[in-house]
Homo-oligomer: A and B are copies of this chain.
Amino acid sequence: MKRRNFLRTTAISVLPAISPLIPSVSAAQPNQAPGSPIIRFFGDGEMFEPADYITELQKIQLNENIIRDRYGAGGTIEMLEKKFSELTGKEKAIFMPSGTMANQLAIDVLSGNNTKVFVQDTSHVYRDEADAAQSVFQNRLMPLAKNETYFTADQLRNAIESLPEEEVFQSGIGTVSIENPVRRTDGRMVPLDEIKKISAYCKSKNIKLHLDGARIFLASGWSGISIKEYASYFDTIYISLYKYLGATAGAILCGEKMVIDKMPHLMKIHGGSMYGNWANAAMALHRLDGFEERLQNSIKRANEIFTELNKESNIKITPLESGTNIYNIALSKGTDGSKLKDSLDKNFNIKIPPFNKENQSKLMVNETLLNKPADQVIQAFKKSMSV
């Protein structure tokens, strides 16, 4: 229980230091040491600056011959969709301009004429989609597990079973939507066991289940559970293309053919049908190749670095319970966090977020850790702490 109380007690004070939804602090810092590779201990993955993005795209084009689409049909985008269909084990996949559109359209189609949609109180669907569910898609979100990472199957069952007592004029239950991992609780995961129970309950009640898996690769990386297994418990799954797959924007929604086939029309009438989408498709398709392995290597690298640094008396790096790529870092009282941060940046091209008054911060593990050998990073920290 305690682990799930995190948000209430600590998240708010840390939030300004490391805003969960603004991954890259480096946008305003183009003055990097030339020639030197960068490690960023924030963000969920490589988020390219334009110059790097174009260079990468150039490489892809030379090797793979990108083929353009028209309104999302044909060419490289179809290859991307096919790839995600295989990866998730779902019949069909479709590219969309945003995660909000993917979540909302999935929930809306799954719900049919039923309006009640159960979500985590901390979820993106409930808190970060600007009332889209109610004001555009005309569904009623029912938040569960205030400030927690997840609700249990029992809590869900209880909420559903008490509805007849709580309301006189009953309305139907459409969908249960689960975000995993949850960004607002610092990337903590929903336990697989709970997902299984929820899925079994929903199936028994003919309630549809949607997975906001924007960062499902992170859950998969840290839990060791395959994306296909996660997806198997849900009717639909959305995965982000820009958080760690290099695209400038975009989302993939996967599910049954019957559900996905309704999407082009719905995208069109909501204004989300774009003429050409091949650039984001090509980038994500290319970066997807080998990503799971690179992520595993990044995790190993992080463990190596953190284990070694934890031998130092003035630094303590600890994973969150049920966490993914976010780690707590605490410095001893006498250590100057600001100097550490500056030295890492200027002398070693390693970026970390600022420390708060209690000398605490959070480090995010991502692909950029592979840009330097572990030893170099360890030494960089040690030298920067002894400045």
Contact = CB atoms under 8 A, between A and B. Distances in A.
Interface of A: 12, 15, 21-22, 27, 49-51, 53-55, 57-58, 61, 66-68, 70, 74, 76, 96-98, 100-102, 104-105, 113, 115-116, 127-136, 138-141, 165-171, 242, 247-250, 262, 265, 268-279, 282
A131 B49 CA distance: 39
Counting every copy of the chain, the complex holds 4
B50 A54 contact: no
B271 A168 contact: no
B12 A165 contact: yes
Given A97-B97, A135-B139, 12 more contacts: A27-B68, A50-B61, A50-B66, A51-B61, A54-B61, A97-B274, A105-B271, A127-B167, A128-B167, A135-B269, A170-B265, A249-B276
B265 A277 contact: no
Given A139-B134, A275-B249, A128 B169 contact: yes
A67 B50 CA distance: 7
B130 A100 contact: no
A116 B135 CA distance: 9
A151 to B, nearest CB: 16
Contact of A132 (B15, B130, B270): B270
B274 A249 contact: yes
Contacts of A49: 68
A165 B272 contact: no
B61 A171 contact: no
A136 to B, nearest CB: 5
Given A262-B113, A282-B50, A270 B268 contact: no
Of the listed residues A27, A98, A169, the one surrounded by the most CB atoms of chain B closer than 10 A to its CB is A169
A108 to B, nearest CB: 10
A271 B104 contact: yes
Contacts of A132: 268-271
Contact of A97 (B129, B169, B271): B271
Contacts of A248: 68, 274-279
A101 B271 contact: yes
Contacts of A27: 68, 70, 74
Contacts of A272: 97-98, 101, 270-272
15 contacts: A12-B165, A21-B168, A51-B66, A55-B58, A97-B97, A100-B273, A127-B167, A128-B168, A130-B170, A130-B171, A130-B268, A131-B140, A135-B269, A136-B270, A169-B265
Nearest to A11: B165
Contact of A269 (B129, B167, B269): B129
B68 A50 contact: yes
Contacts of A171: 130-131, 135, 265, 269
A19 to B, nearest CB: 9
Nearest to A267: B271
Contacts of A68: 27, 49-50, 248
